[in-house]
């Protein structure tokens, strides 16, 4: 991104003012409130490109996100247990040398979020262990959904027993539609079933438009103290280390996910302007049209 969102930021700010005006007037209701929330989430992403790449590890409740994050770090940084839901408060883990840069991330994260420093995390990345997407606690599920929307890279975690669950697939479908950068971890796979299950999941991902998303298989191995042995997660280690070693790669991931998020917002704006606000006064509609045109132009220049 050139000049840290120099064109995107003012366009988003103008759009947010116009949308909040609609909310105050009681126009548009739920559709406009969604647009306000989406715009608020995008703002810090275009003004804080110097922050570490936000890697959100999220999936079905019990899929093992906390165990994966712990295993990547080689110690327990996030609580893992058999109780559901396990992760109630998101846990952000980053390299100690990135501490000053992580200060740019809180506006993209819920409050509270536990923050842990760990030298095992590659510099330039921040790993976030999320609550379950299908948590029985609605607040946890809403937080997980918001974190995926805020992610630069979503590591979608599922298991051999739950890889066809509907809730994660609804989020994967949205991720594909907005070209969000996504990697998929198939966790807890019995060795005898690894080939069959991973092949079936790869077919499903291809059919959903995610054929280019890395698929990482983690076989079911005995662990200790909430950790898997190092040899269980080499694919995920390699993926994260490759990003940590390459600022151009991180920039490409950041720009691709941001471009898709802006495109999704513009698409929803078009729908609302064409239908939801068809009868709204021109002084409501025109500021949104102007801001949307500016945002599209900025996206074409900065995220091309």
pLDDT score at 49: 61
Overall average pLDDT of the 234-240 stretch: 92
Which of 9-18, 86-95, 167-176, 210-219 shows the lowest mean pLDDT across its residues?
86-95
- Phi and psi at residue 220, in whole multiples of 5°? -75, 110
To the nearest 5 percent, what fractions of the chain are helix, strand and coil?
55, 15, 30
Predicted confidence (pLDDT) per residue in 66-97, tens digit = 989 999 998 999 876 544 445 578 999 999 99
Task: Give the pLDDT band (50/70/90) at residue 246.
Answer: very high
Which of 29-33, 167-171, 180-184 shows the lowest mean pLDDT across its residues?
29-33
Asked whether the predicted pLDDT for residue 255 surpasses 80, the reply is yes
pLDDT score at 3: 45
Q: Where are the beta strands (DSSP E) in 135-274?
A: 153-159, 182-189, 215-219
Asked whether the predicted pLDDT for residue 250 surpasses 90, the reply is yes
Task: Give the pLDDT band (50/70/90) at residue 2.
Answer: very low
Question: What distance in Å separates the CA atoms of residue 171 and residue 37, rounded to the nearest whole number?
Answer: 17
With 0-12 CB in 10 A as exposed, 13-18 as middle and 19+ as buried, what is 96? exposed
Asked whether the predicted pLDDT for residue 39 surpasses 90, the reply is yes
The reply to whether the predicted model has a pTM over 0.75 is: yes
Sorted by sequence, the CB contacts under 8 Å of residue 280 that are 6+ apart come out as: 22, 27, 28
Predicted confidence (pLDDT) per residue in 274-298, tens digit = 876 777 778 888 899 999 999 999 9
Domains, the chain, ordered by start: 2-46+252-302 (1.20.120)
Asked whether the predicted pLDDT for residue 271 surpasses 50, the reply is yes
Longest CA–CA span in the chain (Å) reads 64
Asked whether the predicted pLDDT for residue 56 surpasses 90, the reply is yes
How much is the CA Rg of the chain, to the nearest whole Å? 20
Task: Give the pLDDT band (50/70/90) at residue 1.
Answer: very low
Q: Is 61 helix (H, G, I), strand (E, B) or coil?
A: coil
pLDDT score at 48: 63
pLDDT score at 273: 83
- For the chain, the distance separating the N- and C-terminal CA atoms, rounded to the nearest angstrom, is 9
Asked whether the predicted pLDDT for residue 216 surpasses 70, the reply is yes
């Amino acid at each position: 991104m050139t000049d840290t969102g120099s064109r995107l930021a003012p366009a988003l700010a103008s759009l947010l003012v116009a949308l909040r005006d609609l909310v105050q007037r009681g126009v548009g209701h739920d559709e406009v409130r969604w647009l306000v929330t989406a715009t608020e989430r995008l703002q810090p992403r275009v003004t804080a490109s110097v922050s570490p790449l936000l890697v959100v590890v999220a999936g079905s409740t019990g899929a093992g996100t906390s165990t994966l994050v712990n295993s990547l770090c080689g110690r327990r940084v996030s609580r893992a247990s058999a109780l559901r839901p396990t992760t109630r408060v998101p846990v952000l883990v980053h390299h100690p040398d990135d501490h000053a840069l992580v200060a740019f991330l809180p506006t993209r994260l819920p409050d509270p979020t536990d923050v842990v420093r760990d030298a095992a995390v590659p510099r330039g990345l921040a790993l976030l262990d999320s609550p379950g997407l299908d948590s029985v606690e609605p607040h946890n599920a809403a937080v997980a959904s918001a974190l995926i929307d805020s992610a630069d890279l979503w590591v979608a975690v599922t298991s051999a027993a739950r890889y066809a669950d509907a809730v994660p697939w609804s989020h994967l479908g949205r991720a594909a539609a907005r070209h969000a950068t996504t990697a998929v971890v198939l966790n807890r796979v019995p060795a005898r079933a690894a080939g069959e299950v991973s092949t079936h999941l790869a077919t499903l991902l291809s059919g959903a438009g995610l054929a280019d998303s890395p698929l990482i298989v983690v076989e079911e191995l005995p662990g200790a103290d909430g950790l898997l042995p190092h040899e269980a997660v080499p694919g995920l280690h390699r993926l994260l280390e490759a990003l940590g070693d390459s600022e151009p790669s991180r920039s490409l991931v950041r720009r691709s996910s941001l471009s898709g998020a802006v495109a999704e917002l513009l698409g929803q704006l078009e729908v609302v302007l064409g239908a939801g606000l068809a009868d709204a006064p021109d002084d409501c509609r025109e500021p949104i049209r102007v801001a949307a045109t500016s945002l599209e132009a900025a996206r074409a220049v900065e995220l091309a």
